[in-house]
Amino acid sequence: MPNPNNEATRRVVYEKSRGLTDTPLTYCPGCTHGTINKLIAETLVELDVLEKSIAIAPVGCSVLAYEFFNCDAIQAAHGRAPAVATGIKRAEPSKVVFTYQGDGDLASIGTAEIIHAAHRGENITVIFVNNAIYGMTGGQMAPTTLVDQKTSTSPFGRAEATTGKPILVSEMMATIPSATYIERVSAHDVPHITKTKRAIKKAFENQINGKGFSMVEVLAGCPVGWNLSPVDSMKFIAETMIPYFPLGVYKDEGVAV
Amino acid sequence: MNKVIFDEAGCKGCVLCVDVCPKKILAPDKSRVNAKGYNPVVCNNMADCTACAICAKICPDSIITVERG
């Protein structure tokens, strides 16, 4: 039996990815942005492309993502990350270019940019973090806010009669002929985090193999914006978000599934 | 013995790790606060740790290192 105090037999099972910088994350306690950030960082390290990756940070809670990813990065105007990524990828096709966008960024002001980046079949990777709220600006209602969900601008709950139902981005993107890979995953518990990492890895592998536009939508928690504890916000994702935003692959290899 | 190491200065006290730990050996230390103002999570019974690293995988701030040994 190995000596338990022998340092030579110790093995690190898990540690912070070198794909992240030492800068402390600026997200609120229990925010799954941090989880998704580290999955991307781990993926870039595992695929050995960290040194040639370029991140496009959005506007929103993750606006400072360029401080966290240990690779080159640029921060785009609100919603315009796919347009900036298009330019960078076309100028530097050997680089691995990805955008990291929230729902206020991608599903609202940036709807045109994301649709047309997919429509052109740009060979980029998009990580879309859907937490059903505008976090950074104070918890306002987003296009993805659930019906009856209370936010600072829908204090009595989102009213379907005047504001409609939440937009289903993955379903919409899967209808675009030139999109290659669209999947919706969730970051609310460890089994789903493992699946999320697998989806993110595939989205990057697609780009490295020149397969075209890939987007992974990750259901995420906003404990502060939702006025829930971090643990309860994970339950909210599982019990309330997933029934409306079904998980799964919506398109693969350019074929709807 | 397996080891869970917390970078306490970075802990935001979200307790997601406490919730998912299958051995229920993690808890926030209510007697202390870190510079951020949170009760840092500590392991109260390292001998029971199986080094499954579920705590580390869910930690949004990547402050947990897990060692098997």
ipTM: 0.96
Q: Is residue A22 domain-resident? A: no
Q: How far is A55 from A39, CA to CA, in rounded Å? A: 14
Cβ-contact A49, A61 below 8 angstroms? no
Cβ-contact B17, B26 below 8 angstroms? yes
DSSP A174: T
Tell how far CA A256 is from the center of its chain: 21
pLDDT average, residue stretch A107-114? 97
Q: Is residue A81 domain-resident? A: yes
Choose, out of B15, B26, B50, B62, the residue to mutate when testing the contact with A (most A CBs < 10 Å).
B62
Considering only the beta carbons, identify the residue of B1, B20, B64 that sits closest to A190.
Answer: B20
pLDDT average, residue stretch A16-20? 97
3-class secondary structure, A19: coil
Assigned CATH for B3-67: 3.30.70.20
pLDDT digits (tens, 9 = 90+) for A170-184: 999 999 999 999 999
pTM score, two decimals? 0.95
pLDDT of residue A257: 77
Q: Is residue A62 domain-resident? A: yes
Q: How far is A119 from A100, CA to CA, in rounded Å? A: 19
| Interface check A1 vs B, CB under 8 A | no
pLDDT category at A254 given cuts 50, 70, 90 is: confident
List the strands of the sheet with A255-256, edge to edge.
Answer: A72-75, A53-57, A96-102, A125-130, A213-219, A179-186, A248-252, A255-256
**Domain hosting residue A152, numbered range:** 33-252
> Which A residues 226-245 touch B at CB under 8 Å?
230-231, 234
| Interface check A68 vs B, CB under 8 A | no
Domain count, chain A: 1
Which residue, A173, A37, A24, A29, is CA-closest to A107?
A173
pLDDT category at A7 given cuts 50, 70, 90 is: low
pLDDT category at A14 given cuts 50, 70, 90 is: very high
CA atoms in the 13 A half-sphere facing the CB of B62: 26
pLDDT category at A6 given cuts 50, 70, 90 is: low
Which CATH number goes with the domain that contains A165? 3.40.50.970
pLDDT digits (tens, 9 = 90+) for A197-240: 999 999 999 999 999 999 999 999 999 999 999 999 999 999 99
| Interface check A8 vs B, CB under 8 A | no
Q: How far is A177 from A49, CA to CA, in rounded Å? A: 28
Q: Is residue A82 domain-resident? A: yes
| Interface check B42 vs A, CB under 8 A | no
B contacts of A190 (beta carbons < 8 Å): 20, 54, 57-58
pLDDT digits (tens, 9 = 90+) for A125-147: 999 999 999 999 999 999 999 99
Min Cα distance A225 → chain B (Å) is 15
Considering only the beta carbons, identify the residue of B1, B16, B20 that sits closest to A30.
Answer: B16
Query: Burial of A116 by CB count in 10 Å (0-12 exposed, 13-18 middle, 19+ buried)?
Result: middle
A contacts of B4 (beta carbons < 8 Å): none
Q: Quick check: A166 pLDDT over 60?
A: yes
Does an H or E element contain A118, and which? helix A111-119
Percent residues over pLDDT 90 in chain A: 94
pLDDT average, residue stretch A71-81? 97
pLDDT digits (tens, 9 = 90+) for A188-197: 999 999 999 9
Phi-psi category of residue B58: left, alpha or beta, with phi > 0 → left and psi -120 to 50 → alpha: alpha
Min Cα distance B29 → chain A (Å) is 16
| Interface check B58 vs A, CB under 8 A | yes
pLDDT category at A38 given cuts 50, 70, 90 is: very high
pLDDT of residue A2: 52
Each domain of chain B, given as residue ranges in start order, spans 3-67
pLDDT average, residue stretch B6-10? 96
Structure tokens at B26: 């993690």
Q: How far is A214 from A110, CA to CA, in rounded Å? A: 17
pLDDT category at A82 given cuts 50, 70, 90 is: very high
First to last CA, chain B: 5
pLDDT of residue A3: 57
Interface size A-B, in CB pairs within 8 Å, comes to: 84
